[in-house]
Amino acid sequence: MFKVSKILVKNTLASAKSEYYNTKIKASKGNQRTVFNVVNKVLHKSQTVLPNNINSDKHMTHYFNNNFCQKVLNINSGFHSSTLSQDKPLVEESCMSMMDTFDPFTEIDIGQLLKRSSNAFCAIDPMPTWRMKDYLDVLMSPITNIVNKSLLFSQYL
């Protein structure tokens, strides 16, 4: 008797949860931030990576740029830890090849690459890939600029 009641309560609870979250998603009416928050709640994940004060394309562009630059700085600072010898370069041999010419990527080239990229992301990414794709029309020029200048000057910008 107890097992049957337990299964009945479990199924009723699962059905109620499913109906509740379906209603929440339908009520979002395509607002991706709301859908993302509901899915995170279902998966018991923390709040969205994006702050709530991003309300324009300009804010999104600045947010993306600042986080990208900070991420590169964090990666670079990892190379200067005390575990590495400061006297010895990271690369023993110098590269003998040179780029005599450089044809910069166009926004179309970068856009095609980004559109084909996976939507997978992790919690430490400054912005989910799908969110970046949503703002591609605004971010395309700065991303193309970053890629071309990084390749041109052989460094991360």
Tell me the three state secondary structure of residue 157: coil
Q: Is the pLDDT of residue 107 over 50?
A: yes
Sign of CA dihedral 12, 17, 20, 21: negative
Domain-wise residue ranges, the chain: 1-48, 49-91+100-157
Average pLDDT of span 90-105: 61
Sign of CA dihedral 154, 105, 116, 56: positive
pLDDT tens, residue by residue, 50-88? 666 777 777 777 777 777 777 777 777 766 555 555 555
Query: pTM of the entire structure?
Result: 0.38
